[in-house]
Structure 1
Amino acid sequence: MHAEIVDRIQPTLTRWDHPFTSGPFTPNYVEYNATELEVIGTIPPRLDGVYLRNTQNPVHAPLGTHHAFDGDGMLHLLSFHQGRCEYRNRFLRTKAFEQEQAAGQGLYAGLIDKPGIARHPGWGARGGLKDTSATDVIVHAGSALTTFYQCGEPYRFDARTLQPLGVSAWGKDVLRHNGISAHPKVCPRTGDLLFFNYGKDAPYMHYGEVDSQDRLVHYVPVPLPGPRLPHDMVLTEHFAILNDFPLHWEEALLEQGRHKLVYDEAKPARFAVVPRRHAPQTGVVWFEASPTYVLHWLNAWEEGDEIVMHGYHQKWPMPRAGFDNQGGTLGPERYGPTLYEWRLHLRTGAVVERRLHERYLEFGQVNARYWGRPYRYSYNMIAHPDSFLFDGIARYDHTTGAMQEYLFGEGRFGSESPMAPALGAVQEDDGYVVSFVTDMQADRSECLVLDARDVAAGPVARIMLPHRISSGTHACWAGAEDIRSSANT
């Protein structure tokens, strides 16, 4: 292995006893470029593109109480080409990150702090927060785009080198409505980026589209009855589907500057079917379903007069007795996420729903070429019982109901594991599943490459990284054809 240290960041965070600043979540402060990585097995030559993962990685001591989602952003990258690979990691040098680096201390309140303790007014739908851009990462218009779940600016990075490319020019047009939230989607047929944002001022939510040249071409309000907490969205050929769930801030307390989650199971889950820019602009149509909360969606498509949606239905959206809301208990026992299907009938307004499987799963991915169209396979993360960690990958066949799984092993925790279509692939599952794994027993991290058709067989390649990286969540795969980079070969 040849590992070059690019930079070291000096933290002011000195307490390591918090569950999300210690153990598998210990932050990284060294930025690397690494080549000639040790490989156990063989890197498939048909694997050509990049695996990117975003991570919460706190640098400065919190002003108040640290929450799992307060950390600064860090991208980890493994770039594949012709059976070889390179690794890089970089802090996301957002405006807020640079402000705190210049000050040598934290300036922003955390998610569960009172905004009044902040030394800077802050950003986002909640207000007072630091726009870390540390939630999600996707590739659109040839470069990597990172986003913040409480809304922020659209930051761009070279998808092979992680060189910062600044904020997309259209960011200023939507920043007045808090910017862009996680999780935008890229249509595999048009190259358009579909996104939403939300906040505490009417109309409370907007929907937008950015074309394949990174130009804002569509932006409309999606009025809600009050402030809500949407997290994800889904698309079909003609529609984007947004949501209004009965888990949100208590409106009476917002007037006092307080943010308290409430769940009203007497209210339905509501889905907004919003026409995409190229579809007839018939207005937003709302559908009602049984109450729940969906943190992440898998896919959706149109089937005759119906829209079919797959996502992770939560049995208990609010923490039950013995569980906290500070990040200490974020495992599946806290909220009970299972694979679920909703069918929205566009002509009658009826909604039919069913549970697809009882296994607790979340953070799933499909072959992204099948976003917005019928698909068969999903690759879901098997959650650790009592923490925000992943123990393995479950491939689910949505046609037969068959499930095969691969467990990382004792003390080994993975990342969201996208499906990477192989070069020349024709079949949906011709490709690989890729995941960063942090091994607490061996004190190292590696990248696993598994055959997407047979994940239970284990990795075809294990690629050793130059350091043990913090466990993280959201990740993506982008093929070489989707990347415009100075490092492209």
Structure 2
Amino acid sequence: MSDLPVPYITGHFTPVTDEITAHELTVHGTLPQELNGRYFRNGHNPKPGITPTHWFRGAGMIHGVRLTQGRAEWYRNRWVRTPFLDGVPFTGTELEVSAAATNIIFHGGRYLALQEANLPWEVSAELDTIGVYDFGGKLTSAMTAHPKEDPVTGELHFFSYSPFPPYLTYYVAAASGEIIRTEIIDGSGPSLMHDFAITEQHVVFLNSPVVFDHAEHSGIPYRWHDDVPFRIGVMPRTGPAKVTWFEVEQAALLHVTNSYVDPQGRVVLEGPRYDRASWENSWKWWVGAPGYGTSPDAGSTFHRWVLDPATGKATDEPLDDLATEFPSINDAHTGLVNRYSYAVAFPGAGLSGYATIKFDTATGRQQLLRHGEDRMPGEAVFVPAAGAVNEDDGYLLTIVSDLKADASQLLVLDASDIRRDPVAVVELPRRVPAGIHGHWIPDTEEF
């Protein structure tokens, strides 16, 4: 790492140093009238003068854009004001000492900033910090940064993982926000479990070879172990809390694209797959390090696993060879069959720069929107169009940052064909650093 000694605070990841608010942003094109709400995106942004020890140790900062009636009403960015921001270290037990830097969701009337080793932190609709949130005392362990909301029931499914027993605890919160189910899950191990999945009938857990290790000194105590298999666990959603574990070819999965049950009753899981080389070199292709990205193991690639509960058999297959991450779908298909997914494509495998990609798993075709030199997109968030009929009738929202121009834009893309010129481009008042995850929260959910 000599050419990029601290890659996660340089280049596209260079932190901003203050909080600002700007009103009535410039819009090119026409913002669709149905885009009434807030686009919030979280990410790591340490205070000036602080160099974190790892990618995931920077303090959380949320960037927000308010869209309403064809206008971009405001942009604002705010740190999540947790004890961690003020220098209180997280040593593994203080659940309230959170970077709160990975994701932001809206559920049960609350905006929650998430970091998987800690409790959520609640913020307001204007991104002011309200305080730590434990679901009325019912959440006594950490909460994943990747909960799944059932698009039919509105229930929020999530989990807590730990390097110490109990390794895995599963939770369900009602649409109103109250936790209605808590289960300790047997058979898991001390694996780094960043994400998981649901189907209509199942919960799908991931035990990868990246496991807790005291000897790891990179900043978080997890390391790849060649002697640990990759296991995918399938559990009935309605109980009992008994998991069937499928051992598959060794790999790791950081983010899930989606999971569903196919017509044969098999559980299908899709997402970007890492082997050891791509896992250990992920910082290089994330930041587009010069000369990296020319070999097949240059990054995580889109993959599918098919698990048959009736026979206990598992198969898997690659779906694409581009280095991709930050997958997303139309959230109305969470846990249901989906045809389309979206992701960030990284330099390598024929790409000279960053791109947004759309996968069609029915045909194997892909659409690429190349963003150009020194321009890096973020995770693409799907928003349905008014009167949508097809799965991809809608828009993709993504913040694209331009390193050379020291500026950023919020792009509104036509999800049915992302190669077209953007539907609208919102000029943001500053460069927004490369971040992690976010969501679109429409006004119909807020009020």
TM-score, length basis structure 2: 0.88
Report the Cα distance in structure 1 between the residues aligned to 2:318 and 2:77, rounded to whole angstroms: 39
The DSSP-based 3-state class of the residue aligned with 1:427 is: coil
Q: Which amino acid aligns with 1:272?
A: G
Classify 1:469/1:285 alpha carbon distance in 2 versus 1 (closer, same or farther; 3 Å): same
Q: Is the 8 A contact 1:342 1:351 kept in 2?
A: yes
Structure 1 residue 32, shift from structure 2 partner: 2.6
Per the alignment, residue 412 of structure 1 pairs with 375
Structure 1 214/302 Cα, relative in aligned 2: closer, same or farther at 3 Å? same
Structure 1 residue 154: Cα displacement: 1.4
> Which residue of the other structure, out of 284, 288, 307, is the alignment partner of 2:267?
307
Name the CA distance, whole Å, in 2 between partners of 1:107 and 1:310.
38
The residue that corresponds to 2:223 in the other structure is 261
Question: How has the CA–CA distance of structure 1 residues 56 and 258 changed in structure 2, closer, same or farther, with 3 Å as cutoff?
Answer: closer
CA distance in 2, matches of 1:200, 1:226: 8
Written as runs of structure 1 = structure 2, the 5 A alignment for 1:75-224 is: 75-85=62-72, 86-97=74-85, 100=86, 106-108=87-89, 123=94, 131-149=98-116, 151-158=117-124, 160-170=125-135, 172-175=137-140, 177=141, 179-224=142-187
In structure 1, the partner of 2:232 is 271
Q: Map 1:282-431; keep pairs closer than 5 Å.
A: 283-303=242-262, 304-316=264-276, 336-385=299-348, 391-431=354-394
Change (3 A) 1:323 1:146: closer
The alpha carbon displacement at 1:164 in A equals 3.0
**Is 1:464 matched up with 2:427?**
yes
How many corresponding residue pairs?
434
Which amino acid in the other structure matches residue 51 of structure 1?
Y
Instruction: Tell me how far apart the structure 2 counterparts of residues 374 and 182 of structure 1 sit (CA, whole Å).
Output: 23
Shift of 1:21: 2.4
Shift of 1:479: 2.8
Q: What is the CA–CA distance in structure 2 between the aligned matches of 1:95 and 1:223, rounded to whole Å?
A: 33
Change in 2 beyond 3 A, CA 1:323/1:300: closer
Gaps of 5+ in 1: 1-15, 101-105, 110-114, 116-120, 485-489
Q: CA deviation at 1:317?
A: 5.4
Select the residue among 14, 17, 42 that pairs with 1:29: 17
Asked whether the 8 Å contact 2:17–2:48 carries over to 1, the reply is: no
Pair 1:424–1:390, CA change in 2 (3 A)? farther
Q: Contact (CA 8 Å) 1:293, 1:317: kept in 2 or not?
A: no
- Once the 2 structures are TM-superposed, how far is the Cα of residue 56 of structure 1 from its aligned partner? 0.5
Pick which of 210-219 and 88-97 moved more. Answer: 88-97
Is the contact made by 2:345 and 2:355 (CA closer than 8 Å) also made in structure 1?
yes
Deviations 1:65-109 (A, max 9, x none): 632221110111112222112222111112332xx2xxxxx3427
Query: Which moves more between the two structures, 234-243 or 224-233?
Result: 224-233
Q: Distance in 2 between matches of 1:269 and 1:390?
A: 31
Contact 2:301 2:324 in 1 (8 A): yes
Give distance in 2, aligned partners of 1:142 and 1:405: 36
Partner of 2:44: 56
C-alpha separation in 2, matches of 1:79 and 1:478: 10
Check whether the contact 1:153–1:171 (CA below 8 A) recurs between aligned residues: no
User: What secondary structure does 1:468 align onto?
Assistant: coil
User: Which residue is equivalent to 1:8?
Assistant: none
- Which runs of 5 or more residues in structure 2 are unaligned? none
The amino acid that maps onto 1:295 is L
CA distance in 1: counterparts of 2:283 and 2:339, whole angstroms? 36
Give SS of 2:261's match.
Answer: strand
Structure 2 CA distance for partners of 1:305 and 1:457, relative to 1, 3 Å: same
SS in 2 for 1:296: coil
Partner amino acid, structure 1, of 2:234: V
Q: Secondary structure at the match of 1:30?
A: coil
Establish whether residue 249 from structure 1 lines up as the match of residue 212 from structure 2. Answer: yes
Identity among equivalent positions (%) equals 32
Shift of 1:23: 3.0
Tell me how far 1:139 sits from its aligned partner.
2.1
Distance in 1 separating the partners of 2:23 and 2:70: 13
The CA deviation at 1:231 is 0.8
Q: Distance in 2 between matches of 1:450 and 1:205?
A: 38
How far apart in 2 are the matches of 1:193 and 1:156? 16
Q: Deviations over 1:257-286 (max 9, x none)?
A: 99361322x54311122232xx24262222
**Aligned alpha-carbon RMSD (Å):** 3.0
Letter in 1 for 2:7: P
Instruction: Give the TM-score taking structure 1 as reference length.
Output: 0.81
